Structure 1
Protein backbone atom coordinates (compact mmCIF):
# COMPACT_ATOMS: atom_id res chain seq x y z
CA UNK A 1 0.00 0.00 0.00
CA UNK A 2 1.31 3.40 -0.96
CA UNK A 3 0.88 6.49 1.18
CA UNK A 4 0.85 8.62 -1.98
CA UNK A 5 -2.53 9.88 -3.14
CA UNK A 6 -3.81 8.13 -6.25
CA UNK A 7 -5.88 9.66 -9.05
CA UNK A 8 -7.74 8.02 -11.94
CA UNK A 9 -8.72 10.06 -15.01
CA UNK A 10 -11.52 8.61 -17.15
CA UNK A 11 -12.90 9.56 -20.56
CA UNK A 12 -14.64 7.46 -23.20
CA UNK A 13 -11.69 6.65 -25.46
CA UNK A 14 -8.77 7.32 -23.09
CA UNK A 15 -7.14 8.98 -26.08
CA UNK A 16 -7.22 12.73 -25.36
CA UNK A 17 -8.41 14.47 -22.20
CA UNK A 18 -7.63 11.69 -19.74
CA UNK A 19 -4.23 11.06 -21.31
CA UNK A 20 -3.32 14.76 -21.13
CA UNK A 21 -4.55 15.00 -17.54
CA UNK A 22 -2.58 11.93 -16.46
CA UNK A 23 0.54 13.27 -18.16
CA UNK A 24 0.15 16.69 -16.51
CA UNK A 25 -0.38 15.12 -13.09
CA UNK A 26 2.64 12.82 -13.46
CA UNK A 27 4.81 15.70 -14.67
CA UNK A 28 3.69 18.31 -12.14
CA UNK A 29 3.65 15.99 -9.11
CA UNK A 30 7.14 14.67 -9.87
CA UNK A 31 6.14 11.18 -8.74
CA UNK A 32 4.34 12.22 -5.56
CA UNK A 33 0.95 11.05 -6.88
CA UNK A 34 0.04 7.64 -8.27
CA UNK A 35 -1.59 8.35 -11.63
CA UNK A 36 -3.92 6.20 -13.76
CA UNK A 37 -6.07 6.83 -16.80
CA UNK A 38 -8.64 4.67 -18.57
CA UNK A 39 -11.65 4.72 -20.86
CA UNK A 40 -14.99 2.97 -21.05
CA UNK A 41 -14.43 2.30 -24.77
CA UNK A 42 -10.69 2.78 -25.39
CA UNK A 43 -9.52 4.00 -28.78
CA UNK A 44 -6.80 2.42 -30.88
CA UNK A 45 -4.25 5.14 -30.17
CA UNK A 46 -3.78 8.45 -28.40
CA UNK A 47 -5.14 11.44 -30.32
CA UNK A 48 -2.29 12.83 -32.49
CA UNK A 49 -3.31 16.43 -31.70
CA UNK A 50 -3.08 15.65 -27.97
CA UNK A 51 0.37 14.16 -28.51
CA UNK A 52 1.43 17.25 -30.48
CA UNK A 53 0.19 19.85 -27.97
CA UNK A 54 1.70 18.01 -25.03
CA UNK A 55 5.03 17.81 -26.89
CA UNK A 56 4.88 21.62 -27.24
CA UNK A 57 5.15 21.86 -23.44
CA UNK A 58 7.86 19.19 -23.20
CA UNK A 59 5.68 16.24 -22.17
CA UNK A 60 5.87 13.13 -24.36
CA UNK A 61 2.72 10.99 -24.45
CA UNK A 62 3.47 9.37 -27.81
CA UNK A 63 4.10 5.94 -26.26
CA UNK A 64 0.86 5.90 -24.24
CA UNK A 65 -1.82 3.36 -25.12
CA UNK A 66 -5.54 3.74 -24.34
CA UNK A 67 -6.61 1.40 -21.53
CA UNK A 68 -9.98 -0.06 -20.53
CA UNK A 69 -11.63 1.17 -17.33
CA UNK A 70 -11.71 -1.56 -14.68
CA UNK A 71 -13.35 -1.83 -11.28
CA UNK A 72 -9.87 -2.38 -9.81
CA UNK A 73 -8.60 0.93 -11.23
CA UNK A 74 -11.42 2.75 -9.47
CA UNK A 75 -11.05 0.73 -6.25
CA UNK A 76 -7.31 1.48 -6.11
CA UNK A 77 -7.73 5.25 -6.62
CA UNK A 78 -8.45 7.90 -4.00
CA UNK A 79 -9.87 10.32 -6.56
CA UNK A 80 -11.74 9.41 -9.77
CA UNK A 81 -12.12 12.23 -12.30
CA UNK A 82 -14.36 11.82 -15.32
CA UNK A 83 -13.77 14.17 -18.20
CA UNK A 84 -17.25 15.46 -18.92
CA UNK A 85 -18.19 12.51 -21.06
CA UNK A 86 -20.97 10.97 -19.01
CA UNK A 87 -19.02 7.85 -18.08
CA UNK A 88 -20.33 5.94 -15.14
CA UNK A 89 -17.74 4.57 -12.77
CA UNK A 90 -18.22 1.97 -10.08
CA UNK A 91 -18.81 3.81 -6.81
CA UNK A 92 -16.91 2.81 -3.70
CA UNK A 93 -17.35 4.39 -0.27
CA UNK A 94 -14.57 6.75 0.73
CA UNK A 95 -13.60 7.69 -2.82
CA UNK A 96 -13.77 11.21 -4.17
CA UNK A 97 -15.52 11.63 -7.53
CA UNK A 98 -15.21 14.71 -9.74
CA UNK A 99 -16.47 15.50 -13.22
CA UNK A 100 -14.44 17.97 -15.25
CA UNK A 101 -16.53 19.43 -18.08
CA UNK A 102 -14.01 19.77 -20.90
CA UNK A 103 -14.33 20.00 -24.67
CA UNK A 104 -13.55 16.77 -26.49
CA UNK A 105 -10.36 17.01 -28.58
CA UNK A 106 -11.44 14.11 -30.84
CA UNK A 107 -11.22 15.15 -34.47
CA UNK A 108 -9.80 18.57 -33.56
CA UNK A 109 -6.56 20.14 -34.73
CA UNK A 110 -3.81 21.48 -32.48
CA UNK A 111 -5.27 25.01 -32.46
CA UNK A 112 -8.48 23.70 -30.86
CA UNK A 113 -6.68 21.28 -28.50
CA UNK A 114 -4.24 23.82 -27.01
CA UNK A 115 -6.89 25.56 -24.86
CA UNK A 116 -8.10 22.14 -23.63
CA UNK A 117 -4.51 21.25 -22.68
CA UNK A 118 -4.11 24.55 -20.83
CA UNK A 119 -7.41 24.16 -18.95
CA UNK A 120 -6.41 20.64 -17.92
CA UNK A 121 -3.09 21.97 -16.61
CA UNK A 122 -4.94 24.63 -14.59
CA UNK A 123 -7.28 22.03 -13.08
CA UNK A 124 -4.45 19.58 -12.33
CA UNK A 125 -2.55 22.34 -10.50
CA UNK A 126 -5.69 23.02 -8.45
CA UNK A 127 -6.05 19.31 -7.70
CA UNK A 128 -2.45 19.12 -6.51
CA UNK A 129 -3.09 22.06 -4.21
CA UNK A 130 -6.19 20.30 -2.79
CA UNK A 131 -4.15 17.11 -2.28
CA UNK A 132 -1.41 19.06 -0.51
CA UNK A 133 1.18 18.00 -3.08
CA UNK A 134 3.60 20.70 -4.29
CA UNK A 135 3.50 21.24 -8.06
CA UNK A 136 6.55 21.61 -10.23
CA UNK A 137 6.86 25.22 -11.40
Structure 2
Protein backbone atom coordinates (compact mmCIF):
# COMPACT_ATOMS: atom_id res chain seq x y z
CA UNK A 1 0.00 0.00 0.00
CA UNK A 2 1.37 3.39 -0.93
CA UNK A 3 1.57 6.33 1.42
CA UNK A 4 0.27 8.92 -1.01
CA UNK A 5 -1.57 11.86 0.58
CA UNK A 6 -4.92 10.54 -0.67
CA UNK A 7 -4.34 7.05 0.80
CA UNK A 8 -3.36 8.57 4.15
CA UNK A 9 -6.51 10.75 4.13
CA UNK A 10 -8.70 7.74 3.24
CA UNK A 11 -7.21 5.61 6.07
CA UNK A 12 -7.79 8.47 8.52
CA UNK A 13 -11.46 8.53 7.50
CA UNK A 14 -11.28 12.12 6.29
CA UNK A 15 -13.07 13.27 3.13
CA UNK A 16 -10.86 13.79 0.13
CA UNK A 17 -10.69 17.40 -1.03
CA UNK A 18 -12.40 17.93 -4.35
CA UNK A 19 -9.71 19.24 -6.68
CA UNK A 20 -10.11 19.89 -10.37
CA UNK A 21 -8.47 17.40 -12.71
CA UNK A 22 -6.11 20.14 -13.85
CA UNK A 23 -4.58 22.38 -11.23
CA UNK A 24 -3.88 25.21 -13.66
CA UNK A 25 -6.86 27.44 -12.97
CA UNK A 26 -5.38 29.14 -9.92
CA UNK A 27 -4.42 32.13 -12.05
CA UNK A 28 -7.19 32.46 -14.64
CA UNK A 29 -6.16 32.78 -18.30
CA UNK A 30 -2.47 32.24 -17.49
CA UNK A 31 -2.10 28.46 -17.41
CA UNK A 32 0.10 28.83 -14.30
CA UNK A 33 -0.12 26.08 -11.69
CA UNK A 34 0.06 26.54 -7.93
CA UNK A 35 2.25 23.44 -7.76
CA UNK A 36 5.18 25.21 -9.42
CA UNK A 37 4.50 28.85 -8.55
CA UNK A 38 6.76 30.99 -6.40
CA UNK A 39 6.36 34.62 -5.29
CA UNK A 40 8.67 37.24 -6.81
CA UNK A 41 9.13 40.93 -6.24
CA UNK A 42 9.58 42.82 -9.52
CA UNK A 43 11.14 46.27 -9.01
CA UNK A 44 11.94 48.66 -11.82
CA UNK A 45 13.53 52.06 -12.37
CA UNK A 46 12.96 53.20 -15.94
CA UNK A 47 14.44 56.43 -17.30
CA UNK A 48 11.96 57.14 -20.11
CA UNK A 49 8.25 57.75 -19.35
CA UNK A 50 7.08 55.92 -22.49
CA UNK A 51 9.16 52.83 -21.64
CA UNK A 52 8.05 53.12 -18.00
CA UNK A 53 4.41 52.74 -19.09
CA UNK A 54 5.33 49.68 -21.18
CA UNK A 55 7.31 48.06 -18.36
CA UNK A 56 4.54 48.81 -15.84
CA UNK A 57 1.96 47.24 -18.15
CA UNK A 58 4.11 44.11 -18.57
CA UNK A 59 4.88 43.82 -14.83
CA UNK A 60 1.26 44.30 -13.77
CA UNK A 61 0.07 41.68 -16.25
CA UNK A 62 1.81 39.11 -13.98
CA UNK A 63 1.21 40.81 -10.62
CA UNK A 64 -1.10 40.30 -7.69
CA UNK A 65 -0.58 43.93 -6.77
CA UNK A 66 2.05 46.45 -5.96
CA UNK A 67 2.97 50.07 -5.49
CA UNK A 68 4.54 52.40 -8.00
CA UNK A 69 7.66 50.61 -9.24
CA UNK A 70 7.44 47.37 -7.25
CA UNK A 71 4.95 44.55 -7.75
CA UNK A 72 4.46 41.10 -6.24
CA UNK A 73 4.04 38.41 -8.86
CA UNK A 74 3.37 34.68 -8.49
CA UNK A 75 5.38 33.07 -11.29
CA UNK A 76 6.23 29.58 -12.39
CA UNK A 77 9.42 28.94 -14.35
CA UNK A 78 7.73 29.40 -17.74
CA UNK A 79 6.07 32.68 -16.71
CA UNK A 80 9.33 33.97 -15.23
CA UNK A 81 11.17 33.31 -18.49
CA UNK A 82 8.32 34.90 -20.45
CA UNK A 83 8.37 38.00 -18.22
CA UNK A 84 12.15 38.38 -18.63
CA UNK A 85 11.91 37.97 -22.41
CA UNK A 86 9.13 40.58 -22.66
CA UNK A 87 11.05 43.05 -20.50
CA UNK A 88 14.27 42.57 -22.48
CA UNK A 89 12.44 43.71 -25.63
CA UNK A 90 11.57 47.05 -24.00
CA UNK A 91 14.53 47.89 -21.74
CA UNK A 92 17.48 50.11 -22.57
CA UNK A 93 20.96 50.10 -21.00
CA UNK A 94 20.13 52.88 -18.52
CA UNK A 95 16.98 51.11 -17.22
CA UNK A 96 17.02 48.83 -14.19
CA UNK A 97 14.81 45.86 -13.29
CA UNK A 98 15.30 43.54 -10.33
CA UNK A 99 13.31 40.31 -10.02
CA UNK A 100 13.74 38.93 -6.53
CA UNK A 101 12.46 35.51 -5.43
CA UNK A 102 10.97 35.18 -1.95
CA UNK A 103 12.89 32.52 -0.07
CA UNK A 104 11.07 31.29 3.00
CA UNK A 105 8.48 33.60 4.45
CA UNK A 106 8.99 37.38 4.25
CA UNK A 107 8.28 39.73 7.14
CA UNK A 108 4.86 41.33 6.64
CA UNK A 109 3.75 44.44 8.54
CA UNK A 110 0.49 46.37 8.76
CA UNK A 111 -2.11 45.04 6.33
CA UNK A 112 0.47 43.07 4.37
CA UNK A 113 -0.30 39.38 3.95
CA UNK A 114 1.97 36.79 2.37
CA UNK A 115 0.29 34.29 0.08
CA UNK A 116 1.79 30.83 0.12
CA UNK A 117 1.46 28.34 -2.69
CA UNK A 118 1.56 24.97 -0.99
CA UNK A 119 1.15 21.80 -3.02
CA UNK A 120 -2.53 21.11 -3.47
CA UNK A 121 -3.69 24.65 -2.65
CA UNK A 122 -5.85 26.39 -5.20
CA UNK A 123 -6.14 30.17 -5.11
CA UNK A 124 -9.31 31.54 -6.67
Instruction: Output the TM-score relative to the length of structure 1.
Output: 0.25
TM-score in terms of structure 2 length: 0.26
Q: Which of these two proteins has the greater Rg computed from alpha carbons?
A: 2
